[in-house]
Amino acid sequence: MRQVAALTLLSSVLFGQALDLRTALQQAAVRHPLLQSVGYTVPLAQADSLSASLWVNPTAQLQYTQVPSQLGAPGGLGPAYGQWQLSTMQTLDLAGLRQRRLELARQGITVAGESYNTALQQVLAEVALRWIDLWSAERSLAIARRAVTSVDSLVAINRVRLRGQAIVPADVWRAEMLASQYRIQQVQLEQQRRIAQRWLQYALARTDSLWTSEAMPDIPIEELPVQAWIERALLHRADYRLAVATVLAAEANVQLQDALGIPNPDVGIIATQQQNVPFVGVGITYPLPLVNRNQGERQKARIAVEQARADQQRLRAQIVAEVTVAYEQYQTARAALTQAQTVLAKAGDVLSTIQLAYLKGATLIVDLLDAQRSWYETQRSYYDALADYGRAAIQLLISCGELSNLLQR
């Protein structure tokens, strides 16, 4: 474990300060490219609300007509042989169209806000799992490097003992073969670490080298039954709140389309002058809804409500399944980690005992190499189990929409 810690410390010095999970989530909430784009949805919805709040402008119309044959006569261009008409009209909102547009715009703001929250939860989930991938790759690489160093030392000792004819050449060859196997795994693990690092760099919009903290972060998980987790998910999942907001927006659109099916009259004042005689009156224009009553849009709006409700029910069932699976995976991962912890110390003790016995000539190289493999596999199994536990805990928080709580811890 000291060598693993030393490797992490050296990497922190060479590549910068280690990045913990909480810091990674905080940076992602600010820097992720997706959030930079989705962040415009709320201002756009607010602009729609401003447009919906505006009243319809009044209209003004001026007309002048003249007797053509009198244009050249004295006084022909004037009130004696011409007439003018001035009208000012205003649309009356009898169906409450403005109020329904405002309601739809308010629901649109809610939908936009929940869309952003959904994107934020997706980004945090991606970054958290990417961080776990990088942490796991670093731990596996550190173990592989330690195994290579250990076997290389054994190869060097065996060569000295071979010159003293204390062992046969096959003992050296076996140790060299195991060292080669570990080096191959080390190269593969280095590639895995680079891949995990690049994905995390993209998520955080960073180009510098990233290195995680040595210890797996404490991810608090409350001891609750699965039904309690499901209830919390329906309360905190942004995508479910988005589905609910979409239903409300669709219902508001039904009210708006119904209002659009009711014609609004234009009323106003009309002033005319004919042959020097002024007239003042009122006017009204009313479209007769004989053919077009907005039937198509009204029907489409009702279908959209049914579709939104179906999507909400589908998402609810999906959330129940996701939370149940995540809960079961968390319980399994926790049990597996407990089991891995019990055998971790034993593997190190067995390796130390057999190494000492081999140097005294009390055991064979085969026993030592088997102990070396067992130690390596136990170390990998433990850190794999620890990474699986971290993934399971994070996945449970993701399925319940509570991963953002880690930002404040």
In a domain, 320, yes or no: yes
Number of separate domains in the chain: 1
In a domain, 203, yes or no: yes
CA distance 406 to 21: 9
Residue at token pair 């390796």: 351
In a domain, 133, yes or no: yes
Q: Residue 265 is encoded by which pair of tokens?
A: 């009259």
CATH number of domain containing 300: 1.20.1600.10
- DSSP letter (8 states) at residue 95: T
In a domain, 13, yes or no: no
Sequence length of the chain is 409
In a domain, 301, yes or no: yes
CA distance 387 to 375: 18
Q: Residue 358 is encoded by which pair of tokens?
A: 């081999």
If you write DSSP's letter for every residue of 224-256 in order, what string do you get?
--HHHHHHHHHHH-HHHHHHHHHHHHHHHHHHH
Q: How far is CA 372 from CA 175, 184, 363, in A?
A: 10, 16, 14
pLDDT tens per residue across all 409 residues of the chain:
334 334 443 444 344 568 889 999 999 998 888 898 899 999 999 999 999 999 989 999 998 887 777 666 676 666 667 788 899 999 998 888 999 999 999 999 999 999 999 999 999 999 999 999 999 999 999 988 988 888 888 778 778 777 776 667 877 788 788 888 889 989 999 999 999 999 899 888 888 888 888 788 888 899 999 999 999 999 999 999 999 999 999 999 999 999 999 999 999 999 998 777 888 999 899 988 888 899 999 999 999 999 999 999 999 999 999 999 999 999 999 999 998 888 877 777 777 787 788 777 777 777 777 877 888 888 888 999 999 999 999 999 999 999 988 887 5
CA distance 327 to 275: 90
Q: pTM for the complete prediction?
A: 0.81
Per-residue pLDDT tens over the stretch 24-45? 999 999 888 889 889 999 999 9
Contacts of residue 147, Cβ cutoff 8 Å, sequence gap at least 6: 182, 372, 375, 376, 379
In a domain, 14, yes or no: no
| Residue 142: domain span | 2-8+20-68+76-407
